[in-house]
Amino acid sequence: MQRNTHSPSSPSLQAFAREGLEALEAQGRRRTLTPTTRRGGGRAVRADREYISFSCNDYLGLSHHPEVIAAAREALEAYGAGAGASRLVTGNHPPYAELEMLLAEIKGEESACVFGSGYLANIGIITALAGEDDLIVADKLIHACMLDGAKLSGAKLLRFTHNDVSHARKLLEAHRGAYRRCLLLTETVFSMEGDLAPMRELRALTEEYNTWLIADDAHGLGIIPHGGYADITTGTLSKSAGSYGGYVCGKKEVMDYIKTSSRSLMFSTGLPPAAVAAATTALRIMQDSSVGAKTLKNARYFSSLLNLPVAQSAIVPVLLGDEARTLAAGTMLETHGYLASTIRPPTVPPGTSRLRFSFSALHAEADIARVASLLKKDGYA
Ligand X SMILES: *Cc1c(COP(=O)(O)O)cnc(C)c1O
Beta bridge partners of 114: 247
Angle, vertex CA 275, rays to CA 251 and CA 226, nearest 5? 35
Long-range contacts formed by 235-238: CB under 8 A, 24+ apart: 235/118, 235/121, 236/117, 236/118, 236/121, 237/114, 237/118, 237/275, 237/279, 237/282, 238/57, 238/117, 238/118
55 in contact with ligand X (CB under 6 A):
no
242 in contact with ligand X (CB under 6 A):
no
Query: Of 239, 259, 294, 363, which is the active-site residue?
Result: 239
Give the binding range for ligand X (CB under 6 A) out of 26-34, 80-88, 216-224, 273-281. Answer: 216-224
Query: Of 109, 195, 216, 217, which is the active-site residue?
Result: 216
Binding residue for ligand X, selected from 87, 93, 107, 143, defined by CB under 6 A:
143
238 in contact with ligand X (CB under 6 A):
yes
What letter represents residue 188's amino acid? Answer: T
Cβ(176)–Cβ(209) under 8 Å? yes
Beta bridge partners of 38: 44
Judged by CB under 6 A, the number of residues near ligand X is: 14
61 in contact with ligand X (CB under 6 A):
no
Q: How many angstroms separate the Cα of 153 from the Cα of each of 144, 236, 248?
A: 14, 21, 17
Give the binding range for ligand X (CB under 6 A) out of 66-74, 86-94, 111-119, 269-277. Answer: 111-119
Binding residue for ligand X, selected from 62, 71, 112, 145, defined by CB under 6 A:
145
Minimum CB–partner distance for residue 159 and ligand X (Å): 16
Q: Does the active-site annotation cover 239?
A: yes
Binding residue for ligand X, selected from 42, 124, 149, 246, defined by CB under 6 A:
246
Give the integer Cα–Cα distance in Å for 305 and 122.
36
Q: How many angstroms separate the Cα of 84 from the Cα of each of 65, 91, 115, 117, 119?
A: 27, 6, 15, 17, 21
Q: Does the active-site annotation cover 111?
A: no
264 in contact with ligand X (CB under 6 A):
no
List residues binding ligand X (CB under 6 A): 117-119, 122, 143, 145, 187, 191, 216, 218-219, 236, 238, 246
Would you please indicate which residues are annotated as catalytic (active-site) residues? 57, 143, 187, 191, 216, 219, 239
